[in-house]
Structure 1
Amino acid sequence: MSKWDAIWLNAQLATMQAGRPYGLIQDGAIGVKAGTIAWVGKRTELPGSPETLADAVFEAGGCWITPGLIDCHTHLVYAGNRAREFELRLQGASYEEIARAGGGIRSTVAATREASPELLTATAERRLRALRSQGVTTVEIKSGYGLDLETEVKMLRVARSLAEHQPVTIRTTFLGAHALPVEFEGRSDAYIDFVCAEVLPVVAQEGLVDAVDAFCEGIGFSPAQTVRVFEAAQRWGLPVKLHADQLSDLGGAALAAQFRALSAEHLEYTSVEGVAAMASAGTVAVLLPGAFYFLRETQLPPVAQFRQHGVPMAIATDCNPGSSPTTSPLLMLNMACTLFQLTPEEALTGMTRNAALALGLAEQRGTLAVGQAADFVLWDIEQPAELAYSIGGNPCLNVIKAGFPALPPAEFPQPN
């Protein structure tokens, strides 16, 4: 056996593999070779002494290790903020009223169009560091705050570049069909023509995108317009995702399933028929409790139906300036439990194994298993449920990327 690059010892492992609660392995060890997990199991079953097995030996000190958290739905690259709209909503204005009055997404579009790549990179890096400090090792970043060719390309290039500055895996999603820009006012079909014929070909040819998304909603785009975007994505060989059924039931979940989408996201108003279609297509339900909380929504996503039909449920921050200005994945785990009544295990599965499914990365990430990327997190906890239980805390001791500590220890909280 060739020598491993690293080995982690004396850890409680929540492997998140199916079959037993949290995929628990007590007094476990993880061997790493070339950035992937080469061995995982009980320490007593190691095929030799640690020093002979690996070049670097790390001691976990009895702490817990989970797979790296995966934030599978963010809008991390943007300029400005919408704190004033937050005030307006508290005074009684609805999200839709603000959007129709020129606020909402359009206000962020204006700020993002004006921002330099350097400014977008600097602000996105701050948000990314916050996510990583709570255990995130993989992040999906959507465009959609440009709504023109130049800014959409700018956003996606910035998103791709973040992985050059921080040890994190980035997946990018083209969300050109996010809102109608002012220059296309009253001409939504013409804008969809523009997205499909002029913007998508450029970002696809430049290799800037891993998937294509759309906002199928009364204040977004119709199902028929969404179909056109998805058909264009198919022509470029790109998988699709969908902002679906957040504010009303337009059949978005079933539409996503029709195109075998990786995921459908939000889903508060999804019907039983939509749930069944997702189950048949293998489409993941991405639940976004931050947006639900921030917008003070009352229509819960159909969690019981997702369970009944076996639809995998992922959890994400939806980090964005208008409806979920959070960079705390741990708070989202808590909200998934307290607001959506997921169990702590379901919530953690939703930000590991199922989040990987939602990005098409299940063979590479999301569990502690041989062949998976050696991206995991060391936690100062006594049981995995604490990750969803605590409000406002951060028990992350270190994030491990490709088998080695990713950041200087000074950037992380110290154990109690």
Structure 2
Amino acid sequence: MASGHRLLLENAQQVVLVCARGERFLTGSALRSLAVLEGASVVVGTRFCTFFFALKSRILIQVCSPSTQDTEEPRNHPLVSPLEVGSADLPVTSLSEPCVQLAGATYMDIHQAGGGINFTVEHTRQASEEELFCSFQQRLQCMMRAGTTLVECKSGYGLNLETELKMLRVIERARRELHLSLSATYCGAHSLGAELGAQAVSHLEEVSDEGITAMAAARCSAVLLPTTAYMLRLKQPRARKMLDEGVIVALGSDFNPNAYCFSMPMVMHLACVNMRMSMPEALAAATINAAYALGKSHTHGSLEVGKQGDAIIINASRWEHLIYQFGGHHELIDYVITKGKVIYKK
């Protein structure tokens, strides 16, 4: 058996699959009844795909490679599916977060004082490719330690061909050298939305009833950004209206100079508190629906047979603690796993 699998997880208190029937997204009542196994085990094959679930009597993490086999026996944890990051992540920048924002200045106040996007564009243009890569790598590692295994990385802070290409080269290098899955997006024409048949739309604080109806009909994912609304003191997106209308609701961190947050557990907590989402709704929005927004829910976003073997293991009695304990994810997350390989251990 050791030669046929890359990772074996035995008898987790809970294995949160999110979905179990090959769904590409979840809406409606399906969001309130996530697929969860009690006292179950997971095997990730040598081709990095999850391929077997069974009930066992103890928990064992067994990581296998052609030349070595390491075994560890941690405490009895629940196993939780990976946290995805939805649209509007802008981590490839050279930025300086102005303290005046937290003192109450609006975005336009900062912009008129010489900050804002023009400040960031100028410093991103001046930064070398190596400088951008080093800061990008550090930010991705922070996201990974908070449980993220798939990141959408948008360009858009170059605003000229040379800098945009520089940013895309940085993203491509990170894709080659780092363990996380990266999805690169050119950040242009992002306000045109569902009219062009977009798979996902973000920044929906002012979306109309007609827009919500159109998104539901087009199966266009609404990527909600709780940290952006919170930090910029904006009106919260109408998550409950979208959920009730059958929109595919996803969550994203919107990491950028105005929403400096690496943590999807904190994003989910804010979605529950400020947008009135339930914890199952928030978890689905941050996993399978976020993967759908990136066109990757066939490989990411849930623990199902044939999907990429990404997971996190937390030290808690139930998975809900990952959302409930605001800011507690660093203590809760013991392991982060991608493709059946442990890439982070607390």
* Normalised-by-shorter TM-score class: 0.7 to 0.9
Q: Is the contact made by 1:25 and 1:41 (CA closer than 8 Å) also made in structure 2?
A: no
Name the counterpart of 2:175.
Answer: 163
User: In the aligned structure 1, how far is the partner of 2:111 from the partner of 2:190?
Assistant: 14
**Residues 54-86 of structure 1, C-alpha deviation per residue, up to 9 Å, x if partnerless?**
996765643111221111231011002131xx4
**Residues 4-31 of structure 1, C-alpha deviation per residue, up to 9 Å, x if partnerless?**
3332111120110165733110111111
Change (3 A) 1:126 1:138: same
Q: List aligned pairs for 1:327-406, cutoff 5 A.
A: 327-394=262-329, 395-406=332-343
- Provide the secondary structure at the position in 1 that maps to 2:34: helix
Change (3 A) 1:60 1:345: farther
User: In the aligned structure 2, how far is the partner of 1:59 from the partner of 1:17?
Assistant: 27
Name the counterpart of 2:148.
Answer: 136
User: In the aligned structure 1, how far is the partner of 2:19 from the partner of 2:252?
Assistant: 20
User: In the aligned structure 1, how far is the partner of 2:54 from the partner of 2:19?
Assistant: 12
Q: Is the contact made by 2:240 and 2:275 (CA closer than 8 Å) also made in structure 1?
A: no
Name the counterpart of 1:16.
Answer: 18
Q: Is the contact made by 2:49 and 2:306 (CA closer than 8 Å) also made in structure 1?
A: yes
User: In the aligned structure 2, how far is the partner of 1:404 from the partner of 1:98?
Assistant: 43
Following superposition, the deviation at residue 257 of structure 1 comes to 1.9
**Residues 341-400 of structure 1, C-alpha deviation per residue, up to 9 Å, x if partnerless?**
111111111111111111001110101100110011111111121111112212110111
Q: Which has the higher contact order (CA 8 A, sep 6+)?
A: 2
**Residues 151-178 of structure 1, C-alpha deviation per residue, up to 9 Å, x if partnerless?**
0000111112113332100000001x3x
Name the counterpart of 1:268.
Answer: 205
User: In the aligned structure 1, how far is the partner of 2:278 from the partner of 2:271?
Assistant: 8
Does residue 29 of the first structure (1) align with residue 41 of the second (2)?
Answer: yes
Does residue 316 of the first structure (1) align with residue 252 of the second (2)?
Answer: yes
Q: List aligned pairs for 1:62-101, cutoff 5 A.
A: 62-73=76-87, 74-83=89-98, 86-87=99-100, 90-91=103-104, 93-99=105-111
Following superposition, the deviation at residue 108 of structure 1 comes to 0.2
Query: Where does the alignment leave 5 or more consecutive residues of structure 2 unmatched?
Result: 21-29
- Provide the secondary structure at the position in 2 that maps to 1:123: helix
> What code does the residue aligned with 2:254 have?
D
Query: Where does the alignment leave 5 or more consecutive residues of structure 1 unmatched?
Result: 45-49, 178-213, 217-225, 227-255
User: In the aligned structure 1, how far is the partner of 2:219 from the partner of 2:152?
Assistant: 19
> What code does the residue aligned with 1:63 have?
H
Name the counterpart of 1:296.
Answer: 233
Q: How many residue pairs end up in the alignment?
A: 323
Q: Is the contact made by 2:157 and 2:164 (CA closer than 8 Å) also made in structure 1?
A: yes
Name the counterpart of 1:40.
Answer: 53
> What code does the residue aligned with 2:4 have?
K
**Residues 188-245 of structure 1, C-alpha deviation per residue, up to 9 Å, x if partnerless?**
xxxxxxxxxxxxxxxxxxxxxxxxxx343xxxxxxxxx4xxxxxxxxxxxxxxxxxxx
> What code does the residue aligned with 1:15 have?
L
Following superposition, the deviation at residue 98 of structure 1 comes to 3.5
Q: Is the contact made by 1:285 and 1:314 (CA closer than 8 Å) also made in structure 2?
A: yes
Name the counterpart of 1:246.
Answer: none
Change (3 A) 1:348 1:88: closer
Following superposition, the deviation at residue 3 of structure 1 comes to 2.9
User: In the aligned structure 1, how far is the partner of 2:226 from the partner of 2:82?
Assistant: 20
Equivalent residue in structure 1 for 2:260, among 300, 307, 325 = 325
Change (3 A) 1:361 1:380: same
TM norm structure 1: 0.73
Name the counterpart of 2:23.
Answer: none
User: In the aligned structure 2, how far is the partner of 1:143 from the partner of 1:332?
Assistant: 22
Q: Is the contact made by 2:175 and 2:182 (CA closer than 8 Å) also made in structure 1?
A: yes
TM norm structure 2: 0.87
Identity %: 32
Change (3 A) 1:58 1:283: farther
